A and B are shown apart, each in its own frame.
Chain A
Amino acid sequence: MIDQLPFLAEINPGLWVILAGLICTLLPIGHARKAFVIAAPIFAGVIIFQLNGLNPGAHFGGEFPFGPVELTTLRIDNLSVVWGYLFCLAGVINGIYGLHEKCRMTDSSALIYTGAAIAGVLAGDMITLFVMWELTAISSVFLIWKGGDHAYAAGVRYLAIHVLSGVMLLAGAVMFAQANGGDFMFNEIGLDSPGGWIMLLAIGIKVGFPGLHMWMQDAYPKASITGTVILASFTTKFAVYALARGYAGEDILIWIGAIMTCFPVFFAVVENDLRRVLAYSLNNQLGFMVCGIGIGTSLALNGVVGQVFVHVIFKGLLFMSIGAVMYRTGTAKASELGGLFRSMPYTTVFCLIGAGSIAAFPLLAAFVTKAMILSAALEEHLWVPFLMMLFASAGVMEHSGIKVPHFTFFAHDSGRRVKEAPWNMLAAMGIAAFLCFYLAWPFGGYQNLYALMPYEMEYAYKPYTWDHVVFQLQLLFAAIFAFTLLKRFKLYPAERRAEIIDLDWTYRKLGLNIAKWGSAMWDRLSAQSTRFRKNVIGATGRRLYQTFSPAGAASEATPSGLAAILTAGLLFVVLMLEYFAG
């Protein structure tokens, strides 16, 4: 195709998906839109595949000057190509999942969002990266707002935070480029310059660093059913790509990542909204990736790439299964669900595969990739981060491995008898479930995942060793045993409807109350100052009027004797001044 249409080699494939999204905004025919939703990511994937084959190593295209900056809008190399394939694959699966939804806004914004994410990871320079960074935020907010009225405020907060992240990214990029002779190419950034730190903070917002993560748990559970699935695929993984490209091997990321793996498990255990539980779980999984990037060895970085790849699939699968439940029952609250395996057996199986994958059971997706990151930590003698990640692995088993499937499909029977998920949802979940097996399959499965990994390794990591299988199963069986034991002794907490406050409380409640108080104080101050001004001006005016008006005191007739005394006094003052000044 590239031979016949050479201009394709110069255009970022993500732009075709964005174009398809723009066409969909004008296309009233639902079936035609759905064809675009499926076909556009496939088309982009084919182009990426061909361009990658055209110039193995790195393909650059779309180079042109933009003011003083030389833009390179397309770069396909060993790192970006993995994200390119992944986002195209996720776009197709998400498209199939959303086939039932007859909504022009969802179709078009999903395509623009997917295209922006693809174009962003394939961008060669930081200006293109910034543009796509912002476009992902702007296009995806519509998916949140499709969640209904109650999602409006969350969408606004999401947009504000992400636009801020983009602005910081641009500011950092400009500072970094200025310090490096005006080079805007997006390569290793590091933390040697202020620009590098600002960019790290910008990326940290999007990837959900501790303390900057709240937008995820705020917005994702409130988006539409399809919207949440789509949102979970791109934004944070785009940021992980930026982190891997610019900050591989930065030690600070090891600790940030290790903390990221641990803190969400405590929120997830008390959360009732299962989509929010999965958002915390997403945050926790991102921690493994951030930690791996911080370790920075070939094994760790390849583990991160593999983890990103499988994570999009199994986390998408979990969101899809809970989305299917929500589609049928209207709720994702654990306290309202239970026993749905009787009505939705296929969805149950898919959810269990997703749960097993995220918990890293042998033969399922994360078993291979998460172990690479953990092994890399061990190789570097990072005992504490390793133990933190091991602790978090038990946490993953709790919130995603047990809690989500148990309270949805098993536990007490909620009495809900609904239909199985629509065929398109089942098809999308089926593809994702198959990939969860395939990408961890020991005989020709995970080897294909290895083939995508960008960094040369000293040795090919073997996931199916005695050590790994037995000791991983020890951990997982012990966690399940702990669950059953705690349930038996009624020590496992019941699911309760509540709003679990997170750090977003600081701006949603504290900040809002401070702003309200400030506004009220300002109103009072304005009223008081207005009254004071009116009183002072009024009193002065009245006084002046009383003194100098025709009816005032100064106009009154005064005795001539008093006038003579005043004149003499004035003359005395003038004489004294003249005497001393002269």
Chain B
Amino acid sequence: MSVEIETLPEADAETKPHDDIHPAAKPFLFLGSIKTRRNFIWIPLVGMIICIILGWFHPQKHPLPYEEYITGSWAIWGFLAYSTIVLSANTLFKFLGRDEDYYGEGGLPDPDVSTDPMITGEPHHD
């Protein structure tokens, strides 16, 4: 049985104080904003469409037997392969997932050596 930990609520970068942000990261805080994350989908979509169009105009010199008939075959293969792998995760987890201390020899932070703040109660290497 897995242990699900409570994660912090989705935090928008703009709602947090910037004092503890690394100076080099401040210009890039927009990457953490919900708007950026929601709109990020357009970048790979547009990139994929452009590459499919380019591939349509200039097909491969040595295509696989089926690739001559399917435009964007690599994109289709990539999309299907990725989706198959990810969508298999929940089923795999049911079969393979066990409690973190299933083997009884760790996997959990070791109280003797761990520097995990959750274990030591102190900030780590700060």
Instruction: Give me the interface of A with B, judged by CB distance under 8 Å.
Output: 147-154, 222, 265-267, 269-270, 273, 327-331, 335-336, 338-339, 341-346, 348, 378, 383, 386-387, 390-391, 393-395, 397-398, 410, 412-415, 417-420, 466-467, 470-486, 488, 491-494, 496-502, 508-509
Contacts and interface: CB of A to CB of B under 8 A. Distances in A.
Given A346-B24, A478-B79, 10 more contacts: A329-B124, A330-B109, A343-B20, A410-B31, A415-B8, A415-B11, A418-B124, A467-B61, A483-B86, A498-B99
Which of B25, B28, B61, B65: most chain A Cβ within 10 A? B25
A342 B32 contact: yes
Contacts of A147: 113
Given A341-B32, A394-B85, A481-B44, A496 B51 contact: no
Given A414-B7, A414-B8, A481-B41, A493 B78 contact: no
Nearest to B115: A330
B44 A470 contact: no
19 contacts: A148-B106, A148-B110, A150-B108, A150-B110, A154-B105, A267-B96, A269-B86, A335-B4, A390-B81, A394-B85, A395-B82, A395-B85, A398-B82, A470-B55, A477-B51, A486-B87, A497-B3, A498-B2, A501-B102
Contacts of A345: 22, 24-25, 28
Nearest to A504: B103
Helix, strand, loop or mixed for chain A's interface?
Answer: helix
B92 A269 contact: yes
Given A149-B110, A328-B125, A466-B58, A395 B7 contact: no
Contact of B86 (A343, A410, A420, A482): A482
Interface of B: 2-5, 7-8, 10-11, 13, 16, 20-22, 24-25, 28-29, 31-32, 38, 40-41, 43-45, 47-48, 51-52, 54-55, 58, 60-62, 64-65, 72, 74-79, 81-83, 85-90, 92-93, 96-103, 105-110, 112-120, 123-126
B85 A398 contact: yes
Contacts of A149: 106, 110, 112-113
B95 to A, nearest CB: 9
B103 A343 contact: no
Contacts of A498: 2-3, 93, 97-100
A266 B85 contact: yes
A486 B83 contact: yes
Contact of B77 (A341, A344, A390, A508): A390
Given A394-B81, A486-B83, A499-B102, A383 B58 contact: no
Sorted nearest first, the 5 A-B pairs with minimum C-beta distance are: A150-B106, A148-B113, A330-B116, A394-B81, A478-B78
A493 B61 contact: no
A147 B107 CA distance: 11
A378 B65 CA distance: 11
A491 B126 contact: no
A102 B60 CA distance: 54
A470 B51 contact: yes
A391 B11 CA distance: 35
Contacts of B77: 387, 390-391, 394, 475, 478
Contacts of B61: 467
Nearest to B4: A496
B89 to A, nearest CB: 4
A501 B100 CA distance: 10
A342 B41 CA distance: 22
B76 to A, nearest CB: 7
A484 B41 contact: yes
